């Protein structure tokens, strides 16, 4: 698909954005034989997809469907029909049809064997090019004019037969999505964009921040409320982030908004029963320093030792056994990291603004998909699957709506 700034046909289905949701909508519509033009304000398409693929592109997840849908939280019931129409099995088949075989990891996550996004994106763009999809880059959409035509920053206009908005949220704005589209939809109800799958600030001591920023916390468990997640995290200069934190980030973010902070509990040795750890720590310490004792008897890494010492110095109840502290170390989170550092965002177009085909109720012929809608999901394949599924749904919605229009 050639990224040329050209004058598109006056009658075309316009896709605004060139991320996964946008490109999937384009594929569905173009496969039906309709002319499609994709408008992307960045110099090239799929930039956030390429960023997501740097550590291995997590395409979807292989768990049973009901468990899969539950990961969409408050939007699960709304997302269910779209996910059922384009389920994880469809995402896997689509990926493999592009010449990218997949495999299921030990956690149930599904990845392309290439473990990166670039081969998949190149094959996808070739398919779209073969379907005569036109790509117009550096096209900054600015709204509609009085005649209903799409307007762009360079002064050009496009009369679209139908439009799909797939402009993303506001995370990683340097990759193209900054949420500025919200000002172009004043008559559409939206929820404020908020960070999702994000880290959180912690008031570390200077010693911990200086010595341990960047240190990984491997094989830990994190608990908040009734939820416990196993995984990994990273101590940063300003707080903590990583997979275990991301999995609880929606609940943590909302709790902080309500209460001004949130307390989580960190299990530094989840594979060791409390009674066994207590037995290891019951031996006399002798002349060994606390750091040496914890390293040898509890098997803690230096950053784990530092976290225990941090809690003790912060006034933790010293009458509580060390084993209890190691198995349930309290950590106060003050605020989410900034939205431009988050993996994804919550908020966006209210789901009540859309009909079953993802068309805006107050703007016939205009559909929306992807991260600009008010749903969120944890990492683990749920984000990309949600974008692909809503992109496909918007594409089918365009076809259904156009089929009902008089010629």
Ordered alpha helix ranges (H), 194-289 = 206-212, 243-247, 249-259, 274-281
Q: Which residues of 217-236 are buried (b: 16+ CB within 10 A; e: fewer)?
A: beebbbbbeeeebebebbbb
Query: Apex CA 191: angle with CA 189 and CA 192, to 5°?
Result: 130
Q: Both tokens of residue 207?
A: 């010693």
Bridge partners of 141, per DSSP, are: 152
- CATH topology (fold) of 12-196+346-404: FAD/NAD(P)-binding domain (3.50.50)
How far apart (Å, rounded) are the C-alpha atoms in residues 172 and 174? 6
Say how many residues make up the chain: 407
Please choose, from the candidates 94, 105, 122, 126, the residue with its C-alpha nearest in 3D space to the C-alpha of residue 55: 105
- Between the alpha carbon of residue 324 and those of residues 41, 220, 256, 329, the distances in Å are 53, 15, 25, 8
pTM of the shown model:
0.92
Per DSSP, helices labelled H in 282-381 are 290-297, 302-313, 322-327
**CATH 3.50.50.60, the chain: domain bounds:** 12-196+346-404
Of residues 233, 236, 239, 246, the one with CA closest to residue 196: 246
Ramachandran angles phi, psi of 308, nearest 5°:
-65, -45
Find where tokens 């768990």 sit.
Answer: 63
Gap between the Cα atoms of 22 and 14, Å rounded: 10
DSSP letter at 186 equals: T
Dump strand ranges (E) for 105-256. 109-112, 134-137, 141-144, 150-152, 157-158, 160-165, 190-196, 200-201, 216-224, 227-235, 239-241
Q: Is 145 exposed, middle or buried (0-12, 13-18, 19+ CB in 10 A)?
A: exposed
List the pLDDT tens digit at each of the 407 positions of the chain.
544 333 444 569 999 999 999 999 999 999 999 999 999 999 999 999 999 878 789 999 999 999 999 999 999 999 999 999 999 999 999 999 999 999 999 889 999 999 999 999 999 999 999 999 999 999 999 999 999 999 999 999 999 999 999 999 999 899 999 999 999 999 999 999 999 999 999 999 999 999 999 999 999 999 999 999 999 999 999 999 999 999 999 999 999 999 999 999 999 999 999 999 999 999 999 999 999 999 999 999 999 999 999 999 876 666 678 999 999 999 999 999 999 999 999 999 999 999 999 999 999 999 999 999 999 999 999 999 999 999 999 999 999 999 999 87
Which residue shows structure tokens 């269910």?
80
């Amino acid at each position: 698909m050639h990224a040329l700034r050209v004058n598109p046909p006056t009658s075309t289905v316009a896709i605004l954005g060139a991320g996964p949701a946008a490109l999937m909508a384009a594929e569905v519509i173009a496969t039906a034989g309709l002319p499609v033009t994709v408008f992307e304000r960045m110099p090239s398409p799929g930039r956030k997809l390429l960023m997501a693929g740097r550590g291995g592109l997590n395409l979807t997840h292989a768990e049973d469907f009901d468990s899969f849908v539950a990961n969409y939280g408050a939007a699960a019931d709304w997302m269910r029909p779209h996910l059922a129409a384009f389920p994880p099995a469809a995402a896997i088949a689509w990926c493999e049809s592009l010449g990218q075989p997949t495999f299921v990891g030990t956690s149930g996550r599904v990845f392309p064997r290439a473990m990166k996004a670039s081969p998949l994106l190149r094959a996808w763009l070739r398919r779209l090019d073969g379907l005569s999809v036109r790509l117009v880059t550096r096209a900054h959409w600015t709204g509609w004019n009085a005649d209903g035509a799409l307007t762009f920053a360079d002064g050009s206009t496009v009369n679209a037969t139908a439009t799909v908005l797939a402009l993303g949220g506001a995370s990683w704005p340097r990759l193209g999505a900054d949420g500025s589209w919200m000002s172009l939809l004043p008559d559409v109800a939206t929820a404020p964009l908020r960070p999702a799958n994000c880290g959180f600030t912690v008031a570390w001591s200077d010693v911990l921040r200086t010595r341990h920023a960047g240190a990984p916390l491997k094989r830990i468990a994190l608990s908040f409320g009734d939820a416990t997640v196993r995984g990994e995290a990273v101590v940063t200069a300003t707080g903590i982030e990583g997979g275990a934190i991301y999995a609880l980030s929606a609940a943590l973010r909302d709790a902080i908004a309500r209460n001004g902070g949130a307390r989580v509990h960190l299990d530094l040795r989840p594979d060791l029963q409390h009674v066994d750890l207590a037995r290891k720590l019951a031996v006399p310490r002798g002349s060994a320093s606390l750091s040496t004792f914890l390293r040898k008897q509890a098997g803690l890494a230096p950053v784990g030792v530092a976290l225990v010492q941090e809690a003790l110095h912060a006034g933790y109840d010293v009458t509580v056994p060390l084993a209890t502290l190691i198995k349930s170390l309290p950590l106060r989170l003050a605020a989410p990291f900034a939205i431009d550092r988050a993996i994804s965002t919550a908020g966006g177009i209210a789901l009540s603004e859309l009909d079953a085909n993802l068309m805006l109720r107050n703007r016939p012929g205009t559909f929306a998909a992807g991260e600009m809608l008010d749903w969120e999901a944890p990492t683990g394949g749920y984000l990309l699957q949600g974008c692909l599924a809503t992109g496909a749904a918007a594409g089918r919605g365009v076809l259904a709506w156009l089929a009902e229009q008089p010629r």
